[in-house]
Structure 1
């Protein structure tokens, strides 16, 4: 009897050290029945390392368990499955883990992202509780925006609240900066607002007056909280605006992105940006035309010898950098092995990204004949050192197999696909191997291949 009691006490103790996460739920029903001040939604993915660390290290902390279970109904959501996909889209969740806090009316009041210590997570819960007591919710501020869009004090409060919640403020931010007198755009408060919206969590800075303001005041960035070099904000703004250009099918927004694009960077230039835009619009004709021009006029100029020279230059720069100033001979040797083909890898990825789209979307024979050469280029680079390129070698072989198959060359398609399967087994990529094997079966039967 004593043993049973002790066992029950042990089970209860273990249960008490776990957050009461609910994984299968209807959000509206949870909100309706909520008897706690907050609803916590933990967005995770199966491949997310920081998510697993939070589960293992933070969500087993007795202080955190008590704090969460006392104040929150806790929901756990896989952002890549089922309703998690729509919920992630609804709440603009793009990084993992993301923790959203809703009040007991179902209104988003706070959010935070990434791995953090138990102490920091406890502070986040406290912040969420404070925010939940605000007299005006962000949704209510949203509804007031149209009628108060010229009320500067309202805009300032509204933008600060949305920034705190890590919401997408790209258009609102530019509108606010535009209304500011020029002398106020350069003050620390305004610049900090831009920094907070341009960081890795918010990513609300787009190409526009806000970015221009940061560029004009880049010398002040190092004195601001959590600021990065100006290149970081330009890159994020370009990505943000390109995504918007694709969504709105806007050539004018594309041109804004191109304005801040380095023409001399072989891996990220005007052509590569246009290729992303045309693939996003699924414009096969313009995509092939741009790809053909880019490869003929730029990419093909990089021979294997020239790629190797670039690899050596970048490796030498790394070894001579501050990061390796006090490195041991063993660490230097390890770096030479780990980073010996960093530029060549990028060339393979670039070839693969171009051939991927055309193989999957274009049936024009002339286009596919060109793609066969490009796919072979990617494979030839990998053959220089298949061990080093093992992460991308199977994909390159698979592309070459698929383009041969589309060109009715079944024998060569089967040969390259067999090599792709063998390489993926070395990589121990079971999902890729399974897909390649299914494709090989289709090739042997003369049927359309699965993607």
Structure 2
């Protein structure tokens, strides 16, 4: 009897769970589009991927709620498209989608984007936005038209921009941003309001606005702060170079790198230095890695103990000439001046062992063991090195 009770309880829980689980239907996009036209409703499209945790959370927490689905089905024709399948890929490209999940609210008569959202949200927040998407006065075409009719009006610009960025990445905001900023003189750029525009919408390192910020940092710091100026400079440099590193696109990386290096600020040089090393590591160009570190480590990484040790580890694994290894030993010694550590001493011992300086290797291995023993950590690695060096 107890067995059957447990069996029926499990069956009941499984049934409830399956009833509450949202499973997207696979209505073809063109069919959904035609249905939306016939019914006189906007088309709602969720772009998702099975591996996307935020997509799955939205399905579980938002779209499994009957009230949400009743609202969507009453006001929209819905389509759910996996971006790794044919129709999803096409829609992702058509609407320049870079984030998941993305929710598109589309005019079915001309496939104009009325509204868009990206990312995970709470049920109440999603419902608020889905209601906004039904309001013609809050839709992108209306806000864009109002803005373009008066592009120097900051209120209309921000109304359009703030709605646009709900569903688009920052790089997609550059066109309206530059339209607005082109109505502002150079001196007008230096205001708290226009700094917000530049900080949120300017992504082109060659743009008039960014170049003006570089040349007038003190003026902008007076309406914002130097730390905010620094963060903007760092972010725009990263945005200019990082995609090429991620895609291992060395040709375009080095072209863009020349533009970044022309800024001639230590903060930007430090970013380029780290990206140079990342690209060299990912492409396994160890001579490039050595060239960059020999030229700039002492200038750009001298007060970063962790970074100095990372460079030393790379030299231990991939660099073979003695003179360069001696330079790396100097960098790791500097890291110990900044922060005496077990791993730094052990790394020095291994580097000395690699250049066959057994006496120094033993000295630093013993120093590493002292720290290790004091901290009650395992001495396995340092003991193995000491045994290799013929001592205990």
Please classify the TM superposition score into its range, dividing by the shorter chain length.
0.5 to 0.7
Runs (5+) with no aligned partner, structure 2? 1-10, 333-341, 344-392
2:272 matches 1:269: yes
Provide the rounded CA distance (Å) in 2 between the counterparts of 1:114 and 1:27: 22
CA distance in 1, matches of 2:133, 2:316: 46
CA RMSD in angstroms, aligned pairs only: 5.4
Q: Does 1:72 align with 2:70?
A: no
Q: Which residue of 16, 29, 35 maps to 1:27?
A: 29
Q: Matches of 2:197 and 2:92 in 1, distance apart?
A: 25
- Corresponding residue for residue 234 of structure 1: 233
SS at match of 1:268: helix
Aligned counterpart, 1:414: none
CA contact 1:44–1:96 (8 Å) conserved in 2: yes
| Preserved CA contact (<8 Å) 2:47 2:81 | yes
Aligned residues: 297
Aligned partner of 1:339 in structure 2 is: none
Spell out the pairing of 1:50-199 with structure 2 (5 A cutoff): 50-105=54-109, 106-131=111-136, 136=141, 152-153=151-152, 161=160, 164-166=163-165, 167=168, 168-174=172-178, 176-197=180-201
Shift of 1:107: 1.4
Once the 2 structures are TM-superposed, how far is the Cα of residue 125 of structure 1 from its aligned partner? 0.7
Q: CA deviation at 1:261?
A: 7.8
Shift of 1:121: 0.9
Query: Residue 37 of structure 1 aligns with which residue?
Result: 41
Contact 2:203/2:236 (CA < 8 Å) preserved in 1?
yes
3-state SS of paired residue (2:203): coil
Q: 1:256 aligns with which of 251, 256, 259?
A: 259
CA, structure 1 residues 243+261, in 2 after alignment: closer, same or farther (shift >3 Å)?
farther
| Cα distance change on mapping 1:40 and 1:273 into 2, 3 Å | farther
CA deviation vs aligned residue, 1:243-290 (integer Å, no higher than 9, x gap) = 7887995977543333458657997324735975x999x9x9xx7774
Q: Please name the residue that 1:419 is paired with.
A: none
Contact 1:36–1:73 (CA<8 Å) still a contact in 2? no
Q: Give the Cα–Cα distance (whole angstroms) in 1 for the partners of residues 286 and 15 of structure 2.
A: 62
Q: How far apart, CA to CA, are the structure 2 residues paired with 1:186 and 1:350?
A: 46
**Per the alignment, do residues 128 and 264 of structure 1 end up closer, same or farther by CA in structure 2, a change over 3 Å counting?**
closer
CA contact (8 A) 2:35 2:77 kept: no
Partner of 1:217: helix, strand, or coil? helix
Q: CA deviation at 1:230?
A: 4.0
Q: Distance in 2 between matches of 1:350 and 1:38?
A: 59
Aligned CA distance change for structure 1 residues 107 and 217 (closer, same or farther; 3 Å): same
Q: Following TM superposition, by how much is the alpha carbon of 1:180 offset from its aligned partner in structure 2, in angstroms? A: 0.6
Distance, in Å, in 2 between the alignment partners of 1:53 and 1:236 is 30
TM-score (norm 1): 0.48
Q: How does 1:217-232 map to 2 (within 5 A)?
A: 217-218=220-221, 220-221=223-224, 229-232=228-231
What's the offset of the Cα at 1:31? 1.7
Q: Distance in 2 between matches of 1:56 and 1:349?
A: 44
TM-score (norm 2): 0.54
* 2:48 and 2:55 in contact (8 A); partners too: yes
Matches of 2:221 and 2:298, distance apart in 1? 37
Matched, 1:310 2:305: yes
Deviation at 1:129, TM superposition (A): 1.4
Q: Please list every run of 5 or more consecutive structure 1 residues that lacks an aligned counterpart in the other structure.
A: 1-6, 198-203, 223-227, 312-341, 356-367, 386-451
Cα distance per residue 1:284-331 (max 9 Å; x no partner): 9xx7774452255457999xxx99x924xxxxxxxxxxxxxxxxxxxx
Q: Distance between the aligned counterparts of 1:220 and 1:79, measured in 2?
A: 43
